[in-house]
Chain A
């Protein structure tokens, strides 16, 4: 039930863009994106619901394609503060009554000057 994230790691120069993908073998109801810096707690970024909606704040946005059972996180004009490991957490459509999320293995993003 664990989603698969790609790429596993990416290095960017400040100002470059990146896309992180999250794919599941299960039908998804919602996708939750988090960023975790080393030694710290995961910080919530955004949640996407089925319906193909796209969300964003500042220069970070995401899309959710329920037919393909995948979500993508878009980081544009990256800043040094974007460095960290990005996790997607998924809630499956058949997961009635249970709120827990299944997390991917993470994508380590490093932004260099």
Chain B
């Protein structure tokens, strides 16, 4: 049973370009979460999605960031017009969605975004 998959693992963008990060949840998981981690810091929640629905985006910056989880295909975190401050590791996690609050989240390997 494959784990959570993320690609690319490393992404380099110049200021002003767009970054697209992809996440395929574990088989059988219908909930996806995106977290951002700055060097030497903890994980900060960004957005929580179910198929075709954004459930909670309270951690997402209001501008330039968007996320989707279509009926078919991976979840995508999109950052438009990237700035240097967007450089971070972006982790995706998935859970089965069987029970809120006790659902275990399994993390992918992350995408390390570097903005030049």
Contacts and interface: CB of A to CB of B under 8 A. Distances in A.
A81 interface: no
Interface string A55-69: 000000000000000
Contacts, number: 72
How many residues of B sit at the interface, in one of the four size bands? 20 to 34
Contacts of B56: 97-100
Given A101-B43, A103-B43, 18 more contacts: A29-B101, A42-B91, A44-B107, A47-B102, A89-B43, A91-B102, A97-B56, A98-B48, A98-B56, A99-B33, A99-B56, A99-B97, A99-B103, A100-B56, A101-B45, A103-B42, A104-B42, A106-B42
Interface of A: 2, 29-30, 32, 34, 40-44, 47, 49, 87, 89, 91, 95-106
Interface of B: 4, 31, 33, 35, 41-45, 48, 55-56, 59, 91, 95, 97, 100-110
